[in-house]
Structure 1
Amino acid sequence: MTDLSLTCMGAAGTVTGSRHLLEADGKRILLDCGMFQGRRNIRTRNWEPFPVAPWSIDKVVLSHAHMDHSGYVPRLIRDGYAGEILCSPPTIDLCGILLPDSGYLQERDAEYANRKKFSRHEPALPLYTEDEAEASMERFRGVEFNTDTDLGHGARLKLRRAGHILGAATVEVKWHGRTIAFSGDLGRYDDPVLFDPEPIEQADYLLLETTYGDRLHEQGDPGELLADIVERTTARGGTVVIPSFAVGRAQLLTFYLWKMKKAGRIRSVPVYLDSPMAINASAILRHHFGDHRISPSDAEEIGDMVNYVRETEDSKALTIDQMPKVIISASGMATGGRVLHHLKSYAPDARNTIVISGFQAPGTPGATILAGADEIRIHGQHVPIRAEVEEISMLSAHADANELMQWLGGFKAPPRKTFLVHGEPASSRALRSRIERELGWSCEIPGHLDRFDL
Structure 2
Amino acid sequence: MPISPTLRFLGAAGTVTGSRHLLEAGGRRILLDCGLFQGVKPLRLRNWAPFPVPPADIDAVVLSHAHLDHSGYLPRLVRDGFRGPILCSPATLDLCRLLLLDSAHLQEADADYLNRHGLSRHQPALPLYTVADAQRAIAALRPVDFDTATDLPGGCGVQLTPAGHILGAAIVQIRHPGGRLVFSGDLGRYGDPLMPPPGGVAQADHLIVESTYGNRKHSAEQAADALEAVITRTVRRGGTVVIPAFAVGRAQALLYYIWQLKQAGRIARDLPVFLDSPMASGAVDVYLRHAGDQRLSAADARAAFGVATYVTEVEQSKALDSSPMPKIIVSASGMATGGRVIHHLKHYLPDPRSTVLFAGFQAEGTRGAAMLDGAATVKIHGGYVPVRAEIDSLPMLSAHADADEILRWLRGFERAPRETFIVHGEPGAADALRLRIKDELGWRCRAVEQNDVAELG
CA contact (8 A) 2:26 2:177 kept: no
User: RMSD of aligned C-alpha atoms?
Assistant: 1.2
1:392-434: CA deviation from partner (whole Å, max 9, x where unpaired): 1010000000000000011010111100000000000111111
SS in structure 2 opposite 1:102? helix
1:226 counterpart residue number: 227
Choose which of 330, 333, 336 in structure 2 pairs with 1:334. 336
| Greater mean alpha carbon deviation, residues 44-53 or residues 320-329 | 320-329
8 A Cα contact 2:4 2:178, kept in partner: no
Q: After superposition, give the CA deviation of every residue in 1:115-161 in whole Å (9 maximum; x if it has no partner).
A: 44555655443211223212321100000101111002110111000
* Closer/same/farther in 2, CA of residues 339 and 122 from structure 1, 3 Å limit: farther
**Partner residue, 2:359:** 357
**Cross-structure match for 1:412:** 414
> Does the 8 Å contact 2:78/2:136 carry over to 1?
no
Please state how far the C-alpha of 1:63 moved relative to its aligned partner. 0.1
Give the aligned residue type for 1:310: T
CA displacement at 1:320 relative to structure 2: 2.7
Structure-1 separation of matches of 2:241 and 2:250? 16
Query: Structure 1 residues 37-46 or 311-320, which shifts more?
Result: 311-320
Q: Counterpart of 2:13?
A: 12
| 1:31 partner letter | L
Residue deviations 1:349-402, cap 9 Å, x none? Answer: 111101111111111111111111111112222111111011110100000000
Q: 1:123 to 1:379 in 2, by over 3 A?
A: farther
Per the alignment, residue 393 of structure 1 pairs with: 395
* Partner residue, 1:317: 319
Higher alpha-carbon deviation: 126-135 or 444-453: 126-135
CA 88–82 in structure 1, closer or farther in 2 if over 3 Å, else same: same
CA distance, structure 2, for counterparts of residue 292 and residue 275 of structure 1: 22
Question: What amino acid sits opposite 1:71 in the alignment?
Answer: G
State the SS of the aligned residue for 1:153. Answer: helix
CA distance in 2, matches of 1:103, 1:152: 29
| Deviations 1:10-29, CA, capped at 9 Å, x for gaps | 00000000000001243100
Question: 1:211: which partner in 2?
Answer: 212
- 1:261 Cα shift? 0.5
Residue 437 (structure 2) aligns with: 435
Once the two structures are superposed, the pairs formed by residues 362-381 of structure 1 within 5 Å of their partners are 362-381=364-383
Whichever residue aligns with residue 418 of structure 1, its letter is T
Question: Could you tell me the TM-score, scaled by structure 2's length?
Answer: 0.97
Residues 119/365 of structure 1: CA separation in 2 closer, same or farther (3 Å cut): farther
Q: What amino acid sits opposite 1:302 in the alignment?
A: A
Deviation at 1:193, TM superposition (A): 0.4
Separation in structure 1 between the aligned mates of residue 436 and residue 302 of structure 2, nearest angstrom: 44
SS at match of 2:167: coil
- Structure 2: distance between partners of 1:131 and 1:319: 34
Distance 1:120 1:210, change over 3 A: farther
Query: Which whole-Å CA distance do the structure 1 matches of 2:333 and 2:117 have between them?
Result: 21
Tell me how far 1:34 sits from its aligned partner. 0.2
Question: Which residue in 1 is equivalent to 2:194?
Answer: 193
Q: In 1, Cα distance between the equivalents of 2:382 and 2:421?
A: 39
Alpha-carbon distance change, 241 to 121 in structure 1, aligned in 2, over 3 angstroms:
farther
* Distance in 1 separating the partners of 2:191 and 2:232: 26
| Aligned residue runs from structure 1 range 24-423, under 5 A | 24-119=25-120, 121-267=122-268, 268-423=270-425
Query: Which amino acid in 2 is paired with 1:78?
Result: R
Q: What SS is found at the alignment partner of 1:10? A: coil
Indicate the residue corresponding to 1:452 in structure 2.
454
8 Å contact kept, 1:90–1:167: yes
Q: How many angstroms apart in 1 are the aligned matches of 2:325 and 2:122? A: 39
Quote how far apart the aligned CAs of 1:318 are.
1.5
Provide, for residues 333-361 of structure 1, a one-character-per-residue CA deviation record: whole Å limited to 9, x for no partner: 11111111111111111111011111111
Aligned in 2, Cα 1:120/1:333: closer, same or farther, shift over 3 Å?
Answer: farther
On the 8 A contact 1:418/1:441 being kept in 2, the answer is: yes
Contact 2:256 2:305 in 1 (8 A): no
Gaps of 5+ in 2: none
**Percent identity between the two aligned chains:** 56
CA shift for structure 1 position 297: 1.6
Rate the CA distance shift 1:116–1:381 in 2: closer, same or farther, 3 A.
farther
Q: Residue type matched to 2:235 in 1?
A: T
Provide TM-score, normalisation by structure 1. 0.98
Structure-2 change in CA distance of 1:147 and 1:416 (3 Å):
same
Contact 2:422–2:445 (CA under 8 A) maintained in structure 1: yes
Q: Which amino acid in structure 1 is aligned with residue 416 of structure 2?
A: P
Rounded to whole Å, the distance in 2 between the matches of 1:56 and 1:413 is: 34
For 1:381 and 1:110, locate their aligned partners in 2 and report how far apart those are by CA, in whole Å: 20
| 8 Å contact from structure 1 (residues 320, 345) kept in 2 | no
Question: Could you tell me whether the CA contact under 8 Å between 1:118 and 1:379 is conserved in 2?
Answer: no
Q: Which runs of 5+ in 1 are unaligned?
A: none
- Looking at structure 1, the residues matched to 112 and 312 of structure 2 have their Cα atoms a distance apart, in angstroms, of 21
Task: Report SS of the residue matched to 2:96.
Answer: helix
